[in-house]
C-alpha cells in the first residue's frame, strides 16, 4: 500500500451491504477497513421488535439455491437463526457472526461526516484518492465503497406539522407504543378502539358548525410496507387505525416487489381484515398537513364528543382525527444525501457504471439498496448482494490482486454481471 494512504479501501457502513462487500474483499489480497457510526447492523436493531424481514430465509444451499437473505455464498440466516422471517435483532446477530468469523477490520463509533476526493484531471478514469473527514479524524484512502443504509435517515415527506407525528423508525415496539398511547387514551376516560365515528359528525348547539371529523386512535400516513406493518401491529393491540396513502399500494399486484406490498405483508393484511381488525384503508389520500387539536372551553361544554387529538388534512379537503400522534410511514432519505454531490443523478437514482462506480467521481462505489440500473432498484438483500463481488473484482483488478477467489460467487449465482436480465415486467404467470 502506498504510504500516502491509510487504507487502500474504506467501506462506509457495517450493514449487510458493507459486511457482504467486506467478505468479498477479504478473499482477495486487498487491504481495507469498514467504518461504522454505531454498531454492526445498527439499522436492523432500530426496527420495531415485531418487524421481520419480508423475504423468507430457507436453507437450500446444498441444492445450489442461496438463502434469499444470505450475504455470502456459504451461509444461511434461516439455518443459523432457525427462523424463516428474522427480526431485526436476529438479522443483526447474523451479520455480527459473519464479521467475527471473517475477522473483518471494522471500526465502530466512527461517523463519516464528509468524503473529499483529491484533485484530479477532468478525464481521469480511476481514483487518485479520498480524504474522509470523520469523528475520529481524517482518513486517507484510495477507494471508497459507500454502504451506509437508509433506516437511520427517515424523511417526514415534507408534510407541514409533521413535528406532531412520530416516525416508524423511532418506535421500538408496536406493543410498547400502543401501551404508551393507550395510557393517554385511558386518561381521557375513553375506551381505546371504540372511537370510530361512522355517523354524520355532530355540530355545535348554536349551529356554528364545529364539526368533529371521523376519528380513530391513530392515523398512519403512508401505505407501503412500514405503514401496513404499523397498522397491523397497532391494531393487534386493539387500537383502531386509519391508513392514509396517495397510491393505495395495497390495491395493486406486480412482479416487481419494490413497487407493491410483499406477498407476506399482503397475506397478513388480508387475514387481519377478514378477522375484522379495526383497520381502515384510505387510498387516494395525499396528506397536506397535520394540526394539533385542543377544543375550546365552549366546544367542550357543548360537544361531549369533541376529542383532543390531531387533524390530518388531505389535499382534497378531507380530514381524519387521530386521537394520538399520527405515525409517519413516509420512507427514508437514505445516507446517499451525505455524498450526493459526488454522484450525477438520473431522476431519483444515482448514475453508476456497470461496476457500480459513480460516473461523476471515479473511485467511489455504491453498494446496497440505493443501487439502481435502468430505473430498477436493487432494494432487497437478494438483489443488491449480487453486486458485492462485482465491486470487489473491479477494485481488486485495479490494485493488481488475484481475483480468482471470487469465482465462487459466480458459481453460486451471487455475481450479477448481465444487467439486461433485470426485467421487472417479466413474468409468465
For the four alpha carbons of 168, 349, 86 and 283, in that order, the dihedral sign comes to: positive
Per-residue confidence band for 189, with pLDDT thresholds at 50, 70 and 90: very low
For the four alpha carbons of 418, 420, 425 and 428, in that order, the dihedral sign comes to: negative
pLDDT tens digits, one per residue of 214-236: 568 999 999 999 999 999 999 99
Residue 65: pLDDT over 80:
no
Q: How far apart are CA 397 and CA 357, in angstroms?
A: 14
Q: Which residues of 70-88 are buried (b: 16+ CB within 10 A; e: fewer)?
A: bbbbebbbbebbebebbbb
Residue 210: pLDDT over 50:
no
Would you say 34 and 22 are in contact if contact means Cβ atoms under 8 Å apart? yes
The dotted CATH code for 7-153+332-412 is 3.50.50.60
Where, residue-wise, is CATH 3.50.50.60 in the chain?
Answer: 7-153+332-412, 162-188+213-297+304-328
* Residues near 163 by beta carbon (within 8 Å), at least 6 away in sequence: none
What is the H or E stretch that residue 275 is in? none
Would you say 18 and 142 are in contact if contact means Cβ atoms under 8 Å apart? no
Q: What is the pLDDT of residue 424?
A: 53
Residue 402: pLDDT over 60:
yes
Per-residue confidence band for 123, with pLDDT thresholds at 50, 70 and 90: low
What is the bridge-based pairing of β-strands 32-36 and 319-322?
unpaired
Would you say 24 and 389 are in contact if contact means Cβ atoms under 8 Å apart? yes
Q: What is the pLDDT of residue 167?
A: 96
Q: What is the pLDDT of residue 377?
A: 82
Q: Which grid cell sits at 81?
A: 437463526
Residue 242: pLDDT over 50:
yes
Helix, strand or coil, per DSSP, at residue 246: coil
Would you say 356 and 371 are in contact if contact means Cβ atoms under 8 Å apart? yes
Q: What is the pLDDT of residue 255?
A: 77
Q: What is the pLDDT of residue 22?
A: 98
Task: For the domain made up of 162-188+213-297+304-328, give the CATH fold.
Answer: FAD/NAD(P)-binding domain (3.50.50)
* Residues near 122 by beta carbon (within 8 Å), at least 6 away in sequence: none
Would you say 183 and 239 are in contact if contact means Cβ atoms under 8 Å apart? no
Residue 106: pLDDT over 50:
yes
Alpha helices in 286-374 (DSSP H): 297-302
Work out the average pLDDT over 131-150. Answer: 95
Q: What is the pLDDT of residue 356?
A: 96
Average pLDDT, the chain: 86
Residue 259's Cα: distance from chain center in Å? 14
- What CA dihedral angle connects 268, 321, 163 and 208, to 10 degrees? 170
Per-residue confidence band for 3, with pLDDT thresholds at 50, 70 and 90: low
Of the candidates 96, 45, 91, 46, the one whose C-alpha atom is nearest the C-alpha of residue 70 is 91
First and final CA of the chain: distance in angstroms?
53
Amino acid at each position: 500500500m502506498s504510504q500516502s494512504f491509510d487504507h487502500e479501501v474504506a467501506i462506509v457502513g457495517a450493514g449487510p451491504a458493507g459486511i457482504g462487500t467486506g467478505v468479498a474483499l477479504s478473499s482477495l489480497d486487498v487491504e481495507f477497513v469498514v467504518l461504522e457510526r454505531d454498531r454492526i447492523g445498527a439499522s436492523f436493531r432500530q426496527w420495531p421488535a415485531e418487524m421481520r424481514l419480508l423475504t423468507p430465509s430457507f436453507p437450500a444451499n446444498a441444492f445450489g439455491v442461496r438463502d434469499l437473505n444470505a450475504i455470502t455464498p456459504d451461509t444461511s440466516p434461516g439455518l443459523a437463526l432457525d427462523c424463516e422471517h428474522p427480526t431485526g435483532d436476529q438479522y443483526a446477530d447474523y451479520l455480527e457472526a459473519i464479521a467475527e468469523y471473517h475477522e473483518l477490520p471494522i471500526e465502530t463509533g466512527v461517523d463519516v461526516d464528509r468524503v473529499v476526493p483529491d484533485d484530479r484531471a477532468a478525464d481521469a478514469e480511476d481514483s487518485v484518492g479520498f480524504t474522509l473527514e470523520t469523528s475520529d479524524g481524517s482518513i486517507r484512502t484510495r477507494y471508497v465503497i459507500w454502504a451506509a443504509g437508509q433506516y437511520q435517515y427517515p424523511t417526514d415527506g415534507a408534510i407541514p406539522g409533521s413535528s406532531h407525528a412520530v416516525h416508524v423508525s423511532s418506535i421500538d415496539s408496536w406493543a410498547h407504543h400502543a401501551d404508551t398511547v393507550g395510557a393517554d387514551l385511558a386518561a381521557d376516560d375513553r375506551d381505546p378502539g371504540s372511537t370510530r365515528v361512522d355517523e354524520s359528525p355532530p355540530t355545535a348547539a348554536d349551529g356554528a358548525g364545529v364539526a368533529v371529523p371521523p376519528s380513530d386512535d391513530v392515523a398512519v400516513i403512508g401505505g407501503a410496507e412500514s405503514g401496513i406493518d404499523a397498522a397491523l401491529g397497532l391494531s393487534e393491540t386493539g387500537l383502531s387505525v386509519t391508513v392514509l396513502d396517495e397510491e393505495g399500494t395495497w390495491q395493486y399486484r406486480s412482479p416487481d416487489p419494490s413497487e407493491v406490498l410483499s406477498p407476506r405483508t399482503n397475506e397478513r393484511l388480508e387475514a387481519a381484515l377478514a378477522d375484522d381488525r379495526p383497520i381502515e384503508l384510505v387510498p387516494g389520500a395525499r396528506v397536506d398537513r397535520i394540526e394539533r387539536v385542543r377544543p375550546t372551553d365552549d366546544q367542550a361544554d357543548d360537544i361531549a364528543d369533541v376529542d383532543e387529538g390531531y387533524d390530518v388534512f388531505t389535499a382534497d379537503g378531507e380530514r381524519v382525527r387521530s386521537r394520538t400522534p399520527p405515525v409517519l410511514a413516509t420512507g427514508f432519505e437514505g445516507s446517499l444525501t451525505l455524498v450526493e454531490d459526488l454522484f450525477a443523478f438520473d431522476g431519483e437514482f444515482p448514475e453508476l457504471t456497470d461496476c457500480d462506480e459513480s460516473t461523476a467521481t471515479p473511485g467511489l462505489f455504491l453498494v446496497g439498496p440505493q443501487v439502481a440500473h435502468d430505473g430498477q432498484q436493487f432494494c432487497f438483500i437478494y438483489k443488491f448482494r449480487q453486486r458485492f463481488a462485482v465491486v470487489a473484482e473491479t477494485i481488486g483488478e485495479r490494485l493488481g490482486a488475484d481475483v480468482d477467489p471470487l469465482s465462487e460467487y459466480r458459481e453460486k449465482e451471487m455475481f450479477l454481471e448481465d444487467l439486461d436480465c433485470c426485467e421487472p415486467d417479466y413474468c409468465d404467470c
